[in-house]
């Protein structure tokens, strides 16, 4: 079972470059989300989606865009990378929207912005 | 808004020691509570959960009881192993996206 797959695993960018972090799940989950993990900050929600065509902002959405054209995929786009976006990014999915449904996490993308 | 507070780490224990990691929460409504574990270089994995007051979640020797009166969900294990070394996150959802604590790093030495 693939579960939640994130690519790439590592990436180094220069300030101002753009890129897309890919996230795909094969569990037919409606709900998907993106988090960033920074030392001493836990995980902070960037954007989330409750189904294809529906997205919403989380706690730290500035500088990031998302779209959800299919149930399986939820890419995260950095339009103009900044050093403050250096972080580890995690994608997660769950069967239900909220409530008692556990989330399944990918292994993360480690992003460095120079 | 909803929030989770967990004890600061790092926590260093000897093998077979008793573990407690404190977690308290603030939420409107009746949240579901979770403990996730993150091993080095990996994503988060669900360790255990509880969805209503007085529920006890358990898995791999870890336990946590949902205490509504003290708004707490402390993680415990009677005898830790070196393989339990990881970062542990307490989290909640109350019909909202998951809200995480800042994580507690546990190191178990042989």
pLDDT digits (tens, 9 = 90+) for A27-76: 999 999 999 999 888 899 999 999 999 999 999 999 999 999 999 999 99
Q: What is the mean pLDDT of residues B58-82?
A: 97
Give me the residue label for tokens 């990918």.
Answer: A106
Q: What is the structure's pLDDT at B66?
A: 97
State how far residue A16 is from chain B, nearest Cα, in angstroms: 27
User: How many whole angstroms separate alpha carbon A59 and alpha carbon B100?
Assistant: 12
Q: Quote the percentage of chain B above a pLDDT of 70.
A: 100
Neighbour tally for B25: CB within 10 Å: 21
For residue A99, pLDDT over 70 is answered with no
Answer whether A48 sits within 8 Å of B103, measured CB to CB: no
B51 in A contact zone (CB under 8 Å):
yes
User: How many whole angstroms separate alpha carbon B21 and alpha carbon B90?
Assistant: 9
Q: Which residue from B minimizes the CA distance to A50?
A: B97
Q: What is the mean pLDDT of residues B26-53?
A: 91
Q: What is the structure's pLDDT at B95?
A: 74
Chain B (20-39) residues lying within 8 Å, Cβ to Cβ, of chain A: 32, 34, 36
Residues of B within 8 A of A99 (CB-CB) are: 32, 51, 93, 95
Q: What is the mean pLDDT of residues B51-70?
A: 95
Residues of B within 8 A of A4 (CB-CB) are: 43
Question: pLDDT-derived band of residue A100, with 50, 70 and 90 as boundaries?
Answer: low
User: How many whole angstroms separate alpha carbon A101 and alpha carbon B91?
Assistant: 12
User: How many whole angstroms separate alpha carbon B31 and alpha carbon B99?
Assistant: 10
Q: What is the structure's pLDDT at A77?
A: 97
Residues of B within 8 A of A90 (CB-CB) are: 43-44
Q: What is the mean pLDDT of residues B82-99?
A: 90
Please, what is the average pLDDT of chain B? Answer: 93
For residue B28, pLDDT over 90 is answered with no
Helix (H) / strand (E) containing B104: strand B104-109
To test the contact with chain B by mutation, choose from A43, A50, A54, A92 the residue with the greatest count of B C-beta atoms within 10 A, namely A43
């Amino acid at each position: 079972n693939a579960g939640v797959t994130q690519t790439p695993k590592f990436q180094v960018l220069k300030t101002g470059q753009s890129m897309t972090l890919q996230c795909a799940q094969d569990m037919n989950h409606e709900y998907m989300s993106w988090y960033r993990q920074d030392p001493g900050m836990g995980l902070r929600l960037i954007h989330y989606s409750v189904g294809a065509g529906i997205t919403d902002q989380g706690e730290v959405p500035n500088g990031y865009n998302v779209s959800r054209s299919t149930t399986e995929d939820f890419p995260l786009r950095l339009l103009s990378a900044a050093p403050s976006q250096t972080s580890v990014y995690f994608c997660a999915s769950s069967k239900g929207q909220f409530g008692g449904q556990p989330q399944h996490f990918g292994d993360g993308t480690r992003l460095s912005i120079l | 808004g909803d929030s989770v507070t967990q004890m600061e780490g790092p926590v260093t224990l000897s093998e077979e020691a008793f573990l407690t990691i404190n977690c308290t929460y603030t939420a409107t409504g009746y949240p579901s509570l979770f403990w996730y574990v993150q091993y080095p270089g990996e994503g988060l994995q669900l360790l255990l959960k509880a969805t209503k007051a007085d529920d006890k979640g358990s898995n791999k020797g870890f336990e946590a009881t949902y205490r509504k009166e003290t708004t707490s969900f402390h993680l415990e294990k009677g005898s830790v192993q070196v393989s339990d070394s990881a970062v542990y996150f307490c989290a909640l959802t109350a019909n909202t996206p998951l809200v995480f604590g800042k994580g507690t790093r546990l190191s178990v030495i042989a």
